[in-house]
Amino acid sequence: MNTTLPADHNARMVRAALALDGLSVGDALGETCFRDENFEAILDDPRATARAPWSWTDDTAMALGIYDVLQDHGRIDQDALAKRFAKRFQAQPWRGYGAGAFRLLGQVAGGGDWRIASEMIFPGGSFGNGSAMRIAPLAGYFAEDDYAVIAEQAKLSAEITHTHPEGIAGGIAAAVAGAYAWKHRDKRADDATKRGMFDVVLAHTPPSEVRGGIVRSTSLAFDASAEPAVKLLDHGMQTRAFDTSMVPIVRLLGNGSRISCQDTVPFCVWAAARHLDDYQSAILNTIRVGGDIDTNCAIVGGIVALAVGRQGIPRDWLRDREELVV
């Protein structure tokens, strides 16, 4: 454990906890929406949620790992984080980890070196959306720092499981977006502030398909225009189960159905910017696009919570989320 923590460590952890709440509520509620009856009910009435408690997934489990390491070290110590990821995986392997993460964390839990295991399991590196889904507590912790610091810490966090440039870019983009949300929380309802998120995220996201997707998102109006229903089976969407006004958005940015940062992060940054002042609307409209619902909602929820504060997260949603084990 690092005993040279920042002087404002406690304030940083309060922000990290806020981001963790936003992430975990989005994750847990989003997970319930893979069942059609829950998906359709909540879009009709935000109070018509699944029976509590809502179980959170590996998205939250790994975010808790980041929270733990920041609590102990005040920075990302990669070896400590790899062990923390593995410890939480070993305790609850049924949280919904992907096949690659299951193998990687299993090897680390057994004493393997995460660097060697990661390269063996993901030759060339993983670009899955896991690097972005867990990053919100880091965004909260470093939110008062320069964006360059946030980007570097996000890179360190991503590299344990996602050494591919796209995986790193996705983690950085989501972290910078979260920090921007905090820095501009007093002007979160201002349209220029919402649009400003794109400029800052693009300024710190390295060249990548992720960055290209965020560039495309800057051309989109925040009021999605309606068009006739179209089957998008390759995007994990069904014509009866999504708001058809979102079809052009999904075509352009993705919805996480390919479980990659390229197919997830551009939409999530756009959705967070669009609803930077309204957590409930951010989550509901993220649910509408289908795809990797829990991860999309985790990313968007973690960003927007840093703008609206804990009071901006619906009280009943916080109550219904499964208790966090920190």
Please tell me which residue, 125 or 172, carries the higher pLDDT value: 172
Q: Closest Cα partner for 265 from 227, 231, 229, 299?
A: 299
Q: What's the pTM value of the predicted model, to 2 decimals?
A: 0.92
Mean pLDDT of all residues in 115-125? 91
Q: What is the pLDDT of residue 216?
A: 93
Per DSSP, helices labelled H in the chain are 9-32, 36-44, 58-73, 78-91, 99-109, 114-121, 130-133, 136-141, 147-159, 165-183, 191-204, 209-217, 247-253, 265-274, 279-287, 293-308, 315-320
Least confident of 101-105, 154-158, 206-210, 251-255: 251-255
By CB atoms closer than 10 A (0-12, 13-18, 19+), residue 116 is: exposed
What is the percent of the chain where pLDDT is above 70? 92
Q: Closest Cα partner for 272 from 188, 148, 206?
A: 188
φ, ψ of residue 95 in degrees (nearest 5): -70, -5
Mean pLDDT of the chain: 91
Q: What is the DSSP letter of 225?
A: P
Give per-residue pLDDT as tens, 266-312.
999 999 999 999 999 999 999 988 899 999 999 999 999 999 999 99
Matching residue, tokens 């909260």: 140
**Phi/psi-derived region of residue 259, left when phi > 0, alpha when psi is between -120 and 50, beta in every other case:** left
User: What domains does the chain contain, in order, with CATH numbers?
Assistant: 9-320 (1.10.4080.10)
Give per-residue pLDDT as tens, 185-237.
999 999 999 999 999 999 999 999 999 999 999 988 887 643 333 333 344 44
Q: What is the pLDDT of residue 3?
A: 61
Q: What is the pLDDT of residue 44?
A: 83
